[in-house]
Amino acid sequence: MSKVYFASARVKKWKYDESMPGKLERLLKEIGLSRYFEQKEWVAVKTHFGSEGAHRIVRPVFLRKVVDALKEIGANPCLTDTVRIKGLDYLEVANQNGINHLSVGAPVVIADGLYGNDNIMVKAGEILGEIAVASLIHDVSAMVVCSHVKGHINAGYGGAIKNIAMGAVSGSHRTCGWKCGRGAMHAIGEGKFIWDDEKCTFCYQCEEICPLDCIEFKDEKFDYYDEKCWRCGRCTRVCPEGALTLPGGDDKTFMKSLAEAAKAVLSTFKPDKVIYINFLTEIQPECDCMPAAEVPIIQDIGILVSDDIVAVEQASIDLLIKEKPLPSSLAEERNVKEDEDILLSLHKKPYIIQVEEAERLGLGRREYELKELV
């Protein structure tokens, strides 16, 4: 049975060891980083840099603790993420969100190049075929996956599986474009947009959110640059009228494709070279790539660490579903009841399929032993 180490967000004594950064230090000692990483080994610390307005990410203070712990055992860490907007702009977003070399104590580098097309095709599975894994993540021998757990409009729940499925895969490949990148999870077939002119109120939110300036309205007609578009789906998510749709697979296939992409990414590592840290903090309803962060819907729960991606995800979900919706949040506005699964109620997505499929694909086990810090 896999072990999942857990530290509660509650503070019972006013001392550093009881703080969240202090507990993270203790968790990393418990799991024993030197069991996984060698001296002088390059270790990618994969996180999400957020967006200009989405400040609820894994906070830099925690990333610093991970970096310091890796340095303590003699490893060479770097912080990384794939681009969702132009690479230099994304590094500036990271900087604004407090993630830079000075704050985290290690270089902050883009995993798939400044243009997001520095990647290597890796065999995935029956849904995706092959997928473009960011070259840094493909080539590095070890990784610590730092995931901010939250909701997600498409995935329902976003944790470690989604962090590497979407976040370690590029938006586009040099020759086969979005169809080999994360767009392959969001869209199917030709993946051309359907714009409903009768529903559209010309609020232009889709145009504003597009990271690649693909959308343009001319004479009240929707137009987009098909070649440039990564099919990230952000424009469809912000449309308040449901006027914009991207032909996608059914929810079940989408969840399974996340597990498949995660497997492809992990297939580039030898066994016992990746550990997972899930931060159940500032749990908001939407993804860290959105242009704004909502108030949390669930109270801070704590931090989970494991070498089993399936176990850490299952343990995170088990903790989440015990929680009550926070007042003055979207959960209260949507009338989510105290005994309901909050993320399921909000997004109506069968997110557990991500975890079930990851187990079926052999990435780990849903059965786990929770070892709580005392």
Q: Which residues bind ligand SF4 (CB under 6 A)?
A: 200-206, 209-210, 212, 214-215, 224, 229-235, 238-239, 241, 243-244
Distance CA 314, CA 215 (A): 38
- Give 264's DSSP letter: H
Q: How far is CA 10 from the centre of its chain?
A: 24
Q: What is the DSSP string of 86-114?
A: -HHHHHHHHHHTT-SHHHHSS-EEETT-T
Query: What's the number of CA atoms in the CB half-sphere (13 Å) around residue 336?
Result: 25
Nearer to ligand SF4 by Cβ, of 70 and 243: the residue is: 243
Rounded Cα gap, residues 259 and 268, in angstroms: 15
Nearer to ligand SF4, 32 or 240 (CB): 240
**Smallest distance, ligand SF4 to C-beta of residue 132, A:** 16
Q: How far is the CB of 89 from ligand SF4 (least distance, A)?
A: 14
Q: Closer CB to ligand SF4, residue 81 or residue 359? A: 81
Provide the minimum distance between the beta carbon of 184 and ligand SF4 in the complex, in angstroms, as a whole number: 13
To ligand SF4, the closest distance from the beta carbon of 226 in angstroms equals 9
Token representation of residue 16? 């550093």
CB 43 within 8 A of CB 144: yes
Of 215 and 265, nearer to ligand SF4 (C-beta) is 215
Q: Which tokens is 208 given?
A: 């504003």
Instruction: State the DSSP string of 189-210.
Output: TT---EE-TTT-----HHHHH-
What's the closest the beta carbon of residue 99 comes to ligand SF4, in angstroms?
23
Handedness of CA 335, 341, 345, 346 (dihedral sign): positive
Beta bridge partners of 146: 277
Structure tokens at 55: 């400040």
Nearest distance from residue 243's CB to ligand SF4, in Å?
A: 4
